[in-house]
Copies of this chain bind each other. A is one copy, B any other.
Amino acid sequence: MISVEEARARILAALAATPAETVPLPAGWGRVLAQPVQARLDQPPADVSAMDGYAVRAAEAVAGASLAVIGTAPAGHPFPGEVGPGEAVRIFTGGFVPPGADAILLQEDAEASPGRVQVQETVRPGRWIRRRGLDFAAGEAVLPTGRRLTARDIGLAAAANVPWLAVHRAPRIGILATGDEIALPGDPIPPGGIVSSNAHALAALIRAGGGDPLVLPIAPDDSQAIAAAATAARACDLLVTTGGASVGDHDLVQSALGPQGFTLDFWKIAMRPGKPLIWGRLGATPVLGLPGNPVSALVCSVLFLLPALERLSGLPGAPPRTIRALAGAPLPENDRRFDHLRARLEPGPEGVPVATPFPVQDSSMMKTLARADALILRAPGAAALPEGASIEVIPLGDLGI
Contacts and interface: CB of A to CB of B under 8 A. Distances in A.
A77 B203 contact: no
A24 to B, nearest CB: 9
Nearest to A205: B151
Contacts of A155: 197-198, 200-201, 204, 294, 298, 366, 369-370
A197 B203 CA distance: 32
B401 A180 contact: no
Contact of A366 (B43, B195, B202, B323): B43
B96 A298 contact: no
A26 B159 contact: no
Interface stretch (A56-64, A183-191, A309-317, A331-339): A183-191
A335 to B, nearest CB: 15
B351 A152 contact: no
Interface residues of A, number: 97
Of residues A30, A135, A208, which shows the largest number of chain B Cβ atoms within 10 Å of its Cβ?
A: A135
Contacts of A184: 158, 163
Contact of A400 (B52, B150, B202): B150
Interface in A19-36: 25-26, 29-30
A261 interface: no
A205 B352 CA distance: 28
Interface in A231-267: 246-248
A6 interface: no
B152 A396 contact: yes
B364 A192 contact: no
Contact of A365 (B94, B135, B207, B369): B135
A388 interface: no
B201 A400 contact: no
A59 B31 CA distance: 61
B29 A207 contact: yes
Contact of A150 (B181, B194, B397): B397
A29 B352 contact: no
A133 to B, nearest CB: 11
Contacts of A93: 246, 293
Given A185-B158, A186-B163, A396-B150, A25 B200 contact: yes
Interface string A316-360: 000000011000000000000000000000000011100000000
A71 interface: no
Interface of A: 25-26, 29-30, 41, 43-46, 50, 52, 75-78, 92-94, 96, 130, 134-136, 142-143, 148-164, 179-182, 184-186, 189-205, 207-208, 215, 246-248, 292-294, 298, 323-324, 350-352, 362, 364-370, 372, 390, 396-401
29 contacts: A25-B185, A26-B200, A26-B204, A29-B208, A50-B364, A52-B246, A76-B179, A76-B190, A130-B362, A134-B362, A134-B365, A135-B366, A150-B204, A150-B401, A151-B201, A151-B400, A154-B200, A155-B366, A156-B369, A156-B370, A158-B184, A158-B200, A158-B201, A159-B366, A161-B195, A324-B351, A324-B352, A351-B352, A351-B390
